[in-house]
Chains A and B, each alone.
Chain A
């Protein structure tokens, strides 16, 4: 429990603050529209549907402001760099930007649903009141129109009954048109962002997501027609609803109850979203500028099982261990950026990524780099590449401890290529200053097929450590979880051989999942905490010296 609090506490705190803001805005604006005098007559017309529509609208303003911020990755990198004074745990919250983006998106969907349903009631009741199909009070309130001496309260203009009247309001008023259009955009964005579509058909997700431009433009002008009506401040001084509301037949005839004047709420949404929209525009401009920087592919290596390695150089590129970059290849697609973990160490003067060929874009890149051809390519034939990054919190913690335990599962092993290489470079250059003494590396995967290149890296490290007579520096355990009986018998037969049959490494591959309790106990027993001097001993020593 204590570990959970340490690991997740800050994230949970951020989420709770965000939920708290949502709840506060909802309750606050509900009470504004439910209690304030200026909306007294509007409430007579619309009942509880008025505050129930305005409260989620306020939450929508807040969430639409937040949703663009987590996807400004260059801004987040800037924040990460400038907060280098803060602990890694705080900076690591910035790595969960996409999770936050999705949570805010779901909140937007929820509030859109509440807002839309409440407005369905508003439109229905407004139209009913206009065509005299409602209580007499509402009908009387709806008689006000925009002419000299009065202003309208009921936004339904034409005397056409429901459901045609409601449909007409929706397609003739700006709020109706923009509302339908942006809700449709939101639904299309959500359906194309499900996990299946995102993982398998990235282009559908990416291009459909750009409907957010229409969403934000529509959102900014959604309230421009000002159809949410309330009594003006000046009118409230002259005409007090609490006194006059019962005397509706005498309005304009008696001195204390002149005809109330109404005005629409000024649009507020643009004030919330203009800042993040500007930041996002800057973000896209930065990405574009970065994409124009020259990146040169210095080497292309094809590994078995459809993996390629691109080694590149870019002027002024600085990276840390465990970071990732976004890569664009205009020859393959002008608009798509794809993230890849850096597999080179900062000590090397190139940077590299390993790419598995699994989809359209990677296949296109494979062909563009000439990997499908048997003969070698001229350098000028290699495609132009754009690189954005590096992003992500660096895994620099690994250098602060004497003994570290690294666990990588499946494709998650990729950052460890960078980490292990960097550790090795530091060890070779200046072993005495390196605090790190021992690495326990755990690699879990179904099979090592897709990660041949990583197995080769481990093999090289093993050889180099033996040459340096420090075979114990790195202790690695590979667990293959996708084995079957025929494999098991094969392994049993070759058990006594010096090198493992699968990986070719000296340390044997293990099968199934690790027993973590045992692993932790073993490691803990091998590296006990240094014994503190016993207080009774020191007292004894003091007594002896005094005598």
Chain B
């Protein structure tokens, strides 16, 4: 839970709230409901919230997928500087924007959604460090589009192909669970034979349980050819 960037969800929620505010506002204004000017306000607030929340901020960990065409709206966000970058400010801004829309039934859903988004931003600001929105840098974005290329690390990759195996042999409890199976199944062959409790297998032994076709499979109830090879 500690690695969750709640701000990403707050962003999605705020964007949805903006759209709901716009829709509610259009209904109230077009149908000329009572006090429909709140509907006009709701449309304006919804458009502002959408423009602010559309550019997705850079994630702390991992690559970030930009929303389609967000680089144009990033300029708007940067224009307001720290005012809109800071999540504390965003939290209170969204709370303030949502209140007037609460006076109309048509827009009250937008109020509730925006208030929830504001709550999540507040949670992010209070609980997490660095409560601000970060721009996805262009050069980094190009690099993030692909996995890190091995390049000069190819040699290191070849040299460093060592696998550590944490082999755990079955304890007698498993024999109780699977009484029909011979305890031989659970033994990993040690170089030199014998049953080992915790036995490290060198990497060449990793696939020893595979059928080695040079050895014929002997019929034994409950065992396939694979486990015979472990005895050899």
Contact = CB atoms under 8 A, between A and B. Distances in A.
Interface string A475-496: 0000000111011001000000
B166 A180 contact: no
A161 B34 contact: yes
Contacts, number: 194
B76 interface: no
B3 A191 contact: no
Interface in B1-58: 1-6, 8-9, 12-13, 15-16, 20, 23-24, 27-28, 31, 33-35, 38, 56
Contacts of A447: 147, 149-150
B108 A304 contact: no
B159 to A, nearest CB: 12
Contacts of B103: 163
Contacts of A188: 13, 116
A228 interface: no
B104 A163 contact: yes
Contact of B3 (A360, A429, A446, A486): A360
Contact of B149 (A120, A187, A191, A483): A483
B79 interface: no
A297 B174 CA distance: 10
Contacts of A468: 213
B220 interface: no
Interface in A342-371: 347-349, 359-360, 369-371
Interface in A192-219: 192, 194, 196-197, 200-201, 203-204
A128 B32 CA distance: 13
Interface in A164-204: 166-167, 170, 180, 183-184, 187-188, 190-192, 194, 196-197, 200-201, 203-204
Contacts of B116: 184, 188
B68 to A, nearest CB: 13
B200 interface: yes
B200 A376 contact: yes
B183 to A, nearest CB: 12
Interface string B141-181: 00000110111101001101111111111110010011001
B9 A298 contact: no
A16 interface: no
A486 B16 contact: no
Contacts of A197: 8-9, 12
A456 B163 CA distance: 11
A32 B4 CA distance: 49
A203 B168 contact: no
A460 B207 contact: yes
A113 interface: yes
A299 B8 contact: no
A162 B33 contact: yes
B151 A486 contact: yes
Given A196-B12, A482-B147, A490-B154, A166 B109 contact: no
A196 B8 contact: yes
A170 B112 contact: no
Nearest to A127: B34
A118 B62 CA distance: 43
Contact of A124 (B31, B225, B226): B31
Contacts of A292: none
A298 B217 contact: no
A382 B173 CA distance: 13
A377 B168 contact: yes
B150 A304 contact: no
A277 B206 CA distance: 47
B113 interface: yes
A452 interface: yes
Contact of A446 (B104, B146, B224): B146
B34 A162 contact: yes
A71 interface: no
A379 B105 contact: no
Given A313-B178, A460-B210, A486-B152, A163 B170 contact: no
B27 A120 contact: yes
Contacts of B104: 163, 166-167
A167 B38 CA distance: 14
B211 interface: yes
B166 A370 contact: yes
A519 interface: no
A129 to B, nearest CB: 13
Contact of A303 (B163, B207, B227): B163
Contact of A190 (B16, B106, B160, B198): B16
A409 to B, nearest CB: 14
Contacts of A370: 166
A429 B169 CA distance: 27
B174 A296 contact: yes
Contacts of B6: 204
A435 interface: no
B232 interface: no
B163 A428 contact: no
Contacts of A371: 166
Given A124-B33, A167-B105, A183-B109, A200 B168 contact: no
Interface in A103-132: 113, 116-117, 120-121, 123-124, 128
Contacts of A449: 147, 150, 157
A429 B217 contact: yes
B185 interface: yes
B9 A348 contact: no
24 contacts: A124-B34, A128-B34, A161-B34, A163-B35, A163-B38, A166-B33, A166-B34, A180-B109, A187-B16, A192-B9, A197-B8, A203-B1, A299-B168, A301-B167, A304-B160, A347-B224, A348-B209, A376-B166, A425-B211, A428-B211, A447-B149, A464-B210, A484-B151, A486-B151
Interface of A: 113, 116-117, 120-121, 123-124, 128, 161-163, 166-167, 170, 180, 183-184, 187-188, 190-192, 194, 196-197, 200-201, 203-204, 294, 296-304, 313, 315, 347-349, 359-360, 369-371, 376-380, 382, 424-425, 428-429, 446-447, 449, 452, 456, 460, 464, 467-468, 482-484, 486-487, 490, 501-502, 504
Given A124-B33, A303-B163, A347-B224, 5 more contacts: A184-B109, A197-B8, A376-B167, A428-B213, A483-B149
Which 9 A-B residue pairings sit nearest by Cβ, starting from the closest?
A162-B34, A166-B105, A376-B198, A191-B12, A379-B171, A191-B13, A201-B4, A446-B147, A428-B211
